[in-house]
Structure 1
Amino acid sequence: MTRHSVRRPMDGLRWLVVSAALFAMCSLWAIATPAMSSPDEPSHAVKAVAVAHGELVGDIGPRPTTWMIPGAMTTVEIPADYATVADLGCYVAIPDQDASCMPALPSDHTSFAEAQTAAGHYPPLYYLLVGWPSTLMPADPGILVMRLVSGAVSTIFVVAGLIALRATRASRVVRWGAVTALTPMSLFLFGTINPNGLEISAAFAAWASIWAVFRARGQAPKHVYAIAAVSFAVLANVRGLSPLWAIVIVAIAALGSGQLGALWRDRRPLLLGSFAFVAAVSLPAILWSLRYGTLLTGEGIWPQYQDRVLAVTDMVLSLSRQYEQMIGNQGWFDSPVPLLTLLVWTISLGMLAAHALQRRGQVSGKLALCVLFVGVVVGPMLIQLPGAADAGLVWQGRYTLPIAIGLPLLAAWLISAPGGGEGTSVAERIARGMIPALGVAHVLAFYGTARRYAVGIDGPYATTDPAWSSNLGFMPAVVIYGVAVAAFLIALSGPRRPGAVEITPDPATGGTAAPAEVATAPQALEPTRS
């Protein structure tokens, strides 16, 4: 018999600190980076304001005739001050230009004007969630409040995912995987007006909760089912490709649970029900895309990519750039994270993968990890290739993050599964060092981006008189961000509170079978030595 200790739920104060610290991190990205500094943020802001004012679609324009226009533009009517957001990007794609060149937003919030957005075809859910402040206040400070609302919604989903991780007997290794999944690029997107941020945070909660459901073979705590239901319902309706990501997450989690045969034999309703639920909640986004399309591209703008070999070659050559974008290249990809941040994340990912693949057993989990890695690399190529001659190679690393964050999470779950022996102990010790290192890398990424907008990428490394800064100031914002990161990581680790419940091995799976009182309580289990 294997002894397991039951860790009581994180008390309310500690959850409050985790939530507040994470929201502070998202808020600092929102405050310390200038308005419209997120990729395509002007289009998303215009779309959010239009949806909030009842204009879900607008007037769709013709297909573009040049690669400089991302897609068919949609014309909407919104308050005049919000209609000028596209004029704020004087610093875009000019790394040595600080943000002091931004003009002031007009004060006319009563009259309406036409504005254009390239996101006119996107499903309206995200925009309904974040656009409502524009009905209550002018663009200054409405844009910042919309960013803060976006950060708050993403914080809710990430914290929900962390709660679900407790039901997977989350050890320090799993927390290591979770921190690795939350890259600087993710936090940056959480704190700006961009549906990609909600897509990533909802996917984080979906990965964590569906894994708990499958590992528990249908006996997970009730709150985990609630997290799974809401996260998949939201994820599937954020962007045009989001239903595909939801299906991929369920499939990989089912395979990686190591119980696919048992799930099919003994829990067939659970397995089929999971896919049926994802299909059902994806229906609104699918119907929306069928009715309005997703992004109407040009026709034949990139004739050279009719040569499939050339297209594939260029996509392969872009892989390193996409990887960097997943870790962090903020702004309009003109603010790359410091090399040390990229190095720390690469080491963290590599060590998680190496320990997972070296672990004894867990064949299904290793197979799922390899399948997911191939999907992260090859999937974007398969999606782009059919329309490469019309749209070009437009894929960005951030588009892959909803499924790519599953790699560190899945690797951590495999390492920490029962029966890992000395390998798990070694990984636990490594996690003690890697989690703080990732925290430092986060702060460096924030500093690099804040500096780029304060003084330009070639400006001084520290100054009390930046050319541009938020009301917090350049260096004070960096210091506050460091405090928020430290508070988040410390609260997330927290003290252990062992109990005395014993769990017997489950002969069907080689794992553990939780007694009824454990399966229905929001408790997390931590393996200990016999």
Structure 2
Amino acid sequence: MSRALGGADRSAPLRDEAPVPATSSERRTRRRGRAGRAAWWAAFAVLSMLGGLWAVADPVFSVPDEPAHVVYAAAIVRGEFFAPTEGIDTTVTVPRTYADAHTAGACFIFDGAVPAGCAEPFVAQDGTAEVVTTAGRYPPAYYLYAGSATLLADGATAIYLMRFLTVLLCAALLASAFSSARETRSPWPVTGIVLACTPMVLFFTGAVNPQGPELAAGIGLWSAGLALLTTSADRSDSGRSRVPPRLVARCVAAAAVLSVIRPLSIVWLGLIVLVVLLARATGPSVRELLRSRSLIAGGIGIGVLVAVSAVWIVYRDALRQWARPTDLEFERAALFSVSKLDLELHEMVGVFGWLDNWAPGAVYILWFAAVGTLVALALAVGTRRERLALASIVLISLVVPVLSELSSYRESAFAWQGRYILAFSAGLVVLSGYVLVGTMPPVIAARVARGLVVAAGVAHVVAFIGNLNRYVHGIHGFWFIDEPGWRPPLPAGLLILAFLVTIGVALFLLLRVLAERDAPEPDAFARGETVVLR
């Protein structure tokens, strides 16, 4: 009636109303969003390729404890959550194929001089068998994920599929760590993530072992947590109140993985959160985070996962260790445990295989020099709290392994390895990168960062070639001189070429990112934004 009489229909849209043009800030936010997604996918592709090449270059069961993890994964996806367990041995019923898992690589593991070609092919077999695994007390989440490959394939094909599934999970977590580091317009956080991704991290990225996802999640939580606190403080100072949801999502995802992946992972989760708060928490940033409903909801979810994992760990006695009794006086045991710390430090960089395959010496020289440079610079310019946080990472990384071994060395000898605490210790370089933001002229910062990143790339290439040479020719053999004693699924030359190309692409992309962070955006000062974070 009103329309017939010429009245206005308030429910109908005004057709001649022009759309409101986006503001420059909105357009800039959209561009950053598209650029951020493109950068994540680029990092994911490169990391997936690097992890996949490690997965193919390592013979089946050449990774520490891989047979036990494979058997447990095959059992878990078939419903054997509470199989009978005695000591650390759990007896499960799995396809007969996996009955030979523990002996398949016995001829070459522990002896770096023996090429991997002595092993019998790992092929599918009919029927089922009872098999013992030493991983049967571990939380089941990772094994449900990786073990799904055994429902699709059998034999060596299933092992490679399980490795590739692990690669995808680790690559996604590490790509998120790089994306979080890019939140600051500085080369240092990205450099810190590069140095956190040691050759050992990539080695376990391409393995059937929950260690890989634990390392990737630890690095991801360090990066996202530090970025979240930094941006929250900046937004509070500038009057903006919205916590970036992408950083919340990355924090929650990394923490969720740490909550369920390995028995000690929840310890590293708690320590990472504490040190991140020690280094960067301020009153405004904490208040800003406490107003974020998504972060609170995610924190509650993480709390539930941690509680469930804790119940599993206690019920299944998941921290039980190998029974290797030793009769040694406490003083001598303490001296021996402390003397192992140098070995454990090298293991964080790269001692491959079943601790039988050290990386070439150049790898350690390059990596320790790069890490030492980054940490020394951070200690020189950091605040008192930041220096205390860096020192606490070092102290915890030294004390926890010794205390762990001394608490049980009479029953399980000295079983600690450097990789066990690497998810936490990697925070030393990640935090150093964030400490250095805005502390020196941009051109100098970019040049130093580029040098450190290139050194890391060279070390990765040397480590990969050295590891592959060990399995093809033996640790004392040499390319083009000795006959190959093992042939990987793809030709060794092709694997090396592919790795060189991928590292080249990674360096090209990283150097472009570091160049983009030489200086703030041209209109940053015009907008009145704070460019230097401290």
Structure 1 equivalent of residue 260 of structure 2: 237
Q: Work out which of the residue numbers 403, 409, 414 in structure 1 matches 2:424.
A: 403
Whether the 8 Å CA contact 1:247–1:275 is kept in 2: the answer is no
Structure 1 equivalent of residue 78 of structure 2: 53
Q: Work out which of the residue numbers 315, 331, 335 in structure 2 matches 1:291.
A: 315
Structure 1 equivalent of residue 389 of structure 2: 368
- 1:330 correspondence with 2:388: no
Decide whether aligned partners of structure 1 residues 319 and 490 sit closer, same or farther in structure 2, where only a CA change above 3 A counts.
same
Tell me which moved more, 260-269 or 209-218: 260-269
The amino acid across from 2:124 in the alignment is S
C-alpha separation between the residues in 2 aligned to 1:208 and 1:139?
Answer: 38
- 1:221 correspondence with 2:244: yes
C-alpha separation between the residues in 1 aligned to 2:157 and 2:447?
Answer: 46
Tell me which moved more, 460-469 or 225-234: 460-469
Decide whether aligned partners of structure 1 residues 277 and 463 sit closer, same or farther in structure 2, where only a CA change above 3 A counts.
farther
Q: Which consecutive unaligned segments of at least 5 residues does structure 1 have?
A: 64-71, 506-511, 513-525
Structure 2 equivalent of residue 385 of structure 1: 406
Structure 1 equivalent of residue 367 of structure 2: 345
- 1:256 correspondence with 2:271: no
- Offset of 1:371 from its aligned partner? 0.7
- 1:91 correspondence with 2:108: yes
Structure 2 equivalent of residue 31 of structure 1: 56
Q: Work out which of the residue numbers 467, 471, 477 in structure 1 matches 2:495.
A: 477
Whether the 8 Å CA contact 2:379–2:387 is kept in 1: the answer is yes
- Offset of 1:48 from its aligned partner? 0.9
Whether the 8 Å CA contact 2:91–2:130 is kept in 1: the answer is yes
Q: Work out which of the residue numbers 129, 138, 157 in structure 1 matches 2:173.
A: 157
**Which secondary structure state, in structure 2, belongs to the residue aligned with residue 76 of structure 1?**
strand
C-alpha separation between the residues in 1 aligned to 2:323 and 2:475?
Answer: 37
The amino acid across from 1:238 in the alignment is I
- Offset of 1:265 from its aligned partner? 7.1
The amino acid across from 2:506 in the alignment is F
TM-score (norm 1): 0.86
Structure 1 equivalent of residue 20 of structure 2: none
- Offset of 1:385 from its aligned partner? 2.1
The amino acid across from 1:27 in the alignment is G
- Offset of 1:321 from its aligned partner? 0.5
Structure 2 equivalent of residue 413 of structure 1: 434
Whether the 8 Å CA contact 2:99–2:129 is kept in 1: the answer is yes
Whether the 8 Å CA contact 2:40–2:176 is kept in 1: the answer is no
Tell me which moved more, 325-334 or 265-274: 265-274
Q: Which consecutive unaligned segments of at least 5 residues does structure 2 have?
A: 1-27, 234-241
The amino acid across from 1:210 in the alignment is G
- 1:147 correspondence with 2:160: no
- Trace 1:114-133 onto structure 2 (pairs within 5 A): 114-133=130-149
C-alpha separation between the residues in 2 aligned to 1:184 and 1:298?
Answer: 27
C-alpha separation between the residues in 1 aligned to 2:322 and 2:215?
Answer: 28
Structure 1 equivalent of residue 219 of structure 2: 204
Decide whether aligned partners of structure 1 residues 288 and 355 sit closer, same or farther in structure 2, where only a CA change above 3 A counts.
same
Whether the 8 Å CA contact 1:212–1:220 is kept in 2: the answer is no
C-alpha separation between the residues in 1 aligned to 2:258 and 2:39?
Answer: 27
Decide whether aligned partners of structure 1 residues 292 and 96 sit closer, same or farther in structure 2, where only a CA change above 3 A counts.
same
C-alpha separation between the residues in 1 aligned to 2:156 and 2:344?
Answer: 34
- Offset of 1:403 from its aligned partner? 0.5
Alpha-carbon RMSD across the aligned residues, in angstroms, is 2.6
The amino acid across from 1:80 in the alignment is R
- Say which structure, 1 or 2, has more relative contact order (CA 8 Å, 6+ apart): 1
- Offset of 1:383 from its aligned partner? 2.4
Whether the 8 Å CA contact 2:214–2:262 is kept in 1: the answer is yes
- Offset of 1:309 from its aligned partner? 1.9
What's the CA shift string for 1:93-129, capped at 9, x where partnerless?
A: 1111000001012331x41111111110000011111
Whether the 8 Å CA contact 2:55–2:207 is kept in 1: the answer is yes
- Offset of 1:49 from its aligned partner? 0.9
Structure 2 equivalent of residue 520 of structure 1: none
Q: Work out which of the residue numbers 258, 261, 270 in structure 2 matches 1:247.
A: 270
**Which secondary structure state, in structure 2, belongs to the residue aligned with residue 469 of structure 1?**
coil
**Which secondary structure state, in structure 2, belongs to the residue aligned with residue 81 of structure 1?**
helix
Whether the 8 Å CA contact 1:246–1:278 is kept in 2: the answer is no
The amino acid across from 2:308 in the alignment is P
Whether the 8 Å CA contact 2:43–2:178 is kept in 1: the answer is no
What's the CA shift string for 1:193-214, capped at 9, x where partnerless?
A: 0100010011111111111222
Tell me which moved more, 484-493 or 463-472: 463-472
Structure 2 equivalent of residue 18 of structure 1: 43
- 1:321 correspondence with 2:338: no
- Offset of 1:227 from its aligned partner? 1.0
What's the CA shift string for 1:315-369, capped at 9, x where partnerless?
A: 110011001100001100111111111000000110011100111x522111101
C-alpha separation between the residues in 1 aligned to 2:418 and 2:141?
Answer: 23
- The count of corresponding residues between Structure 1 and Structure 2 is 488
Structure 1 equivalent of residue 306 of structure 2: 282
Structure 2 equivalent of residue 515 of structure 1: none
C-alpha separation between the residues in 2 aligned to 1:249 and 1:343?
Answer: 27
C-alpha separation between the residues in 2 aligned to 1:459 and 1:299?
Answer: 36
- Offset of 1:436 from its aligned partner? 1.1
Whether the 8 Å CA contact 1:126–1:238 is kept in 2: the answer is yes
C-alpha separation between the residues in 1 aligned to 2:232 and 2:154?
Answer: 51
User: Max radius of gyration: which structure?
Assistant: 2
- Offset of 1:238 from its aligned partner? 0.7
**Which secondary structure state, in structure 2, belongs to the residue aligned with residue 87 of structure 1?**
coil
C-alpha separation between the residues in 2 aligned to 1:504 and 1:468?
Answer: 62
- 1:192 correspondence with 2:215: no
Structure 2 equivalent of residue 394 of structure 1: 415
Decide whether aligned partners of structure 1 residues 366 and 129 sit closer, same or farther in structure 2, where only a CA change above 3 A counts.
same
**Which secondary structure state, in structure 2, belongs to the residue aligned with residue 134 of structure 1?**
helix
Whether the 8 Å CA contact 1:209–1:224 is kept in 2: the answer is yes
C-alpha separation between the residues in 1 aligned to 2:285 and 2:401?
Answer: 30
Decide whether aligned partners of structure 1 residues 421 and 138 sit closer, same or farther in structure 2, where only a CA change above 3 A counts.
closer
Q: Work out which of the residue numbers 431, 444, 449 in structure 1 matches 2:449.
A: 431
Decide whether aligned partners of structure 1 residues 280 and 13 sit closer, same or farther in structure 2, where only a CA change above 3 A counts.
closer
C-alpha separation between the residues in 2 aligned to 1:377 and 1:261?
Answer: 31
**Which secondary structure state, in structure 2, belongs to the residue aligned with residue 160 of structure 1?**
helix
Whether the 8 Å CA contact 1:349–1:408 is kept in 2: the answer is yes
Q: Work out which of the residue numbers 354, 358, 371 in structure 1 matches 2:380.
A: 358
The amino acid across from 1:152 in the alignment is L
- Offset of 1:56 from its aligned partner? 1.8
Q: Work out which of the residue numbers 98, 117, 126 in structure 2 matches 1:100.
A: 117
- Offset of 1:267 from its aligned partner? 5.9
Identity %: 29
The amino acid across from 1:204 in the alignment is I
**Which secondary structure state, in structure 2, belongs to the residue aligned with residue 323 of structure 1?**
helix
Decide whether aligned partners of structure 1 residues 501 and 277 sit closer, same or farther in structure 2, where only a CA change above 3 A counts.
farther
Tell me which moved more, 22-31 or 466-475: 466-475
The amino acid across from 1:34 in the alignment is P
C-alpha separation between the residues in 2 aligned to 1:265 and 1:291?
Answer: 38
C-alpha separation between the residues in 2 aligned to 1:80 and 1:300?
Answer: 29
Whether the 8 Å CA contact 2:252–2:299 is kept in 1: the answer is no
What's the CA shift string for 1:503-528, capped at 9, x where partnerless?
A: 657xxxxxx5xxxxxxxxxxxxx759
- Offset of 1:175 from its aligned partner? 1.6
- Offset of 1:303 from its aligned partner? 2.7
- Offset of 1:402 from its aligned partner? 0.3
**Which secondary structure state, in structure 2, belongs to the residue aligned with residue 115 of structure 1?**
strand
Structure 1 equivalent of residue 10 of structure 2: none
